[in-house]
Amino acid sequence: MLGGGTGGTLVANRLGSLLGREAGITVVDRDPGHVYQPGLVFVPFGARRVEDLVRSRPGRLRSGIAYHNSAVESVAVEQDRVHLADGTELGYDVLVVATGARPVPERTAGMTGPGWLRNVFTFYDPMGAAALEKALAEFEGGHLAVAVLGAPVKSPFTPLEFCFLAEEYFRVRGVRGEVRLSYLTPGDAVVSPPAAAGALAALLEKKGIDVVTGFATEAVDGDEGRLAAADGRQAGFDLAVVVPRHRGAAYLDRSPGLGDDAGFVPADPHTLQSAARPNIFVIGDAAALPAVKVASVAHFQGEVLARNINRFLAGRRVDDRFDGHGCCLVECGSGKALLADFNYDTEPLPGHYPSALGLPLLKESRLAHLGKRMSAWCYWHILVPGRDLPGVASPMPRTGKRFPARTARRP
């Protein structure tokens, strides 16, 4: 098991439950601290502390699962061997790639230049989130630009969540009138699915947050306080919160045949079996799949993946199928949140989840906010241990959703 984050930990625990202690499961990760990444967006506003988001990686694993603390150097796909940075070589019968996605701000011209962590920040890692907290506390007015550089990114709804939280933060501080908030995206809408885009765009307008679409940032100039787009447009800023481009783990670039050009692992979108070899599987953000890169997707993938690996080891066909199901709770401020639920073939739709009597979809509600507040507890006590959510299985529920006459495939 390469990677001890969300996907790696939960599928290791599920396999440990299915196969028992004799299965010989080993989880490899270079960092012994497991970060609850959905909590990072709250750190800049003083609502969470980084140290409260971190727990022991080996401490999240079931008894009998081994943990090896090392970076991965490469994978020899044809030889079924993993080479680790500490010199260890591990063989495997089945390999699960769960090393996630990493921000690569250095790949955007100027982003990590003189303005980095001075007036140019990101909250997608603990250091950046903590530095941004100090910058926001000292920000008394001016233009705060939130810029998404491109896809894929971890949790694509989170930059909008940041905008909503920032609006509330400045309003509570009494300086909202002095702050211009804007959201810049390379897409032609705030998010790609039409129904979700409409609901979120209406919220941005309601909260007085400017939206600039089609703005594909290709350079960041911290000294001049300027974002430059590929089409020649420019946007000035006093403080920029940038969502950098993401790539797969670096070792995938050194593992011929395993990853694609962006360092993600191509796989069957339904069985999660890699295109490289039948005994290699992938889960979560590491996968080159049309699924959104959020923790809930890894949770639902884990149900399918554990059963398919169990079948593979028994010499049976891997026929359990993942439908791309994921759901996102977006904190909107003022004690409300919005829920989106979707899969490969169904974009986020209005209605209720997981049934007609459940949480409202694509609509601000206090119930969704309460669900958001419970997210961290559910993450540590249900999702990561590999347990099932009561009444919620991997396939996306259709009950409660208001389907149009013809549902468009979600990009």
Residue 194 has pLDDT above 90, yes or no: no
Domain range holding 24? Answer: 6-103+247-313
390: in domain: no
Residue 170 has pLDDT above 60, yes or no: yes
Per cent of the chain over pLDDT 90 is: 92
**Contact residues for 368 (Cβ-Cβ < 8 A; gap 6+):** 329, 336, 337, 338, 339, 359, 360
194 or 72: which carries more pLDDT confidence?
Answer: 72
- Do 216 and 97 have their domain in common? no
CB-based contact 360:401 (threshold 8 Å): no
155: in domain: yes
- Do 86 and 45 have their domain in common? yes
Average pLDDT over residues 235-263: 97
Q: What is the structure's pLDDT at 299?
A: 96
396: in domain: no
Average pLDDT over residues 68-81: 98
Report how far residue 253's alpha carbon sits from residue 248's, in angstroms, rounded to the nearest whole number.
9
Q: What is the structure's pLDDT at 392?
A: 87
Report how far residue 386's alpha carbon sits from residue 16's, in angstroms, rounded to the nearest whole number.
9
43: in domain: yes
Per cent of the chain over pLDDT 70 is: 99
DSSP collapsed to 3 states, the chain: CECCCHHHHHHHHHHHHHHCHHHCCEEEECCCEEECHHHHHHHHHCCCCHHHHEEECHHHCCCCCEEEECCEEEEEHHHCEEEECCCCEEECCCEEECCCEEECHHHCECCCCCCECCCEECCCCHHHHHHHHHHHHCCCCEEEEEEECCCCCCCCCHHHHHHHHHHHHHHHHCCHHHEEEEEECCCCCCCCCHHHHHHHHHHHHHCCCEEECCCCEEEEECCCCEEEECCCCEEECCEEEEECCEEECHHHHHCCCCCCCCCCEEECCCCCEECCCCCEEECHHHEECCCCCCHHHHHHHHHHHHHHHHHHHCCCCCCCCCCCCEEEEEEEECCEEEEEEECCCCCCCCEEECCCCCEEECCCEHHHHHHHHCHHHHHHHHHCCCCCECCECCCCCCCCECCCCCCCCCC
Domain boundary, last residue among 313, 342, 368: 313
Average pLDDT over residues 109-117: 95
Domain boundary, last residue among 190, 210, 245: 245
The count of structural domains within the chain is 2
**Contact residues for 377 (Cβ-Cβ < 8 A; gap 6+):** none
- Do 264 and 300 have their domain in common? yes
Cα Rg, the chain, nearest whole Å: 21
360: in domain: no
- Do 256 and 218 have their domain in common? no
- Do 227 and 252 have their domain in common? no
Residue 372 has pLDDT above 50, yes or no: yes
Q: How confident is the model at residue 192 (pLDDT cuts 50, 70, 90)?
A: confident
- Do 268 and 229 have their domain in common? no
- Do 25 and 149 have their domain in common? no
- Do 99 and 189 have their domain in common? no
Average pLDDT over residues 265-288: 98
Q: What is the structure's pLDDT at 407?
A: 47
Report how far residue 370's alpha carbon sits from residue 393's, in angstroms, rounded to the nearest whole number.
21
- Do 133 and 179 have their domain in common? yes
Residue 21 has pLDDT above 90, yes or no: no
- Do 98 and 129 have their domain in common? no
Average pLDDT over residues 39-65: 97
353: in domain: no
388: in domain: no
Report how far residue 410's alpha carbon sits from residue 395's, in angstroms, rounded to the nearest whole number.
16
Q: What is the structure's pLDDT at 406?
A: 61
Residue 280 has pLDDT above 80, yes or no: yes
Neighbouring-strand partners of residue 229 = 217
Residue 31 sits in a domain whose CATH number is: 3.50.50.60
Domain boundary, last residue among 223, 245, 267: 245
CB-based contact 350:344 (threshold 8 Å): no
35: in domain: yes
Residue 290 has pLDDT above 80, yes or no: yes
- Do 238 and 253 have their domain in common? no
Average pLDDT over residues 245-273: 97
Q: For the beta carbon of residue 26, count every other beta carbon within 10 angstroms.
A: 15
Q: How confident is the model at residue 64 (pLDDT cuts 50, 70, 90)?
A: very high
- Do 81 and 204 have their domain in common? no
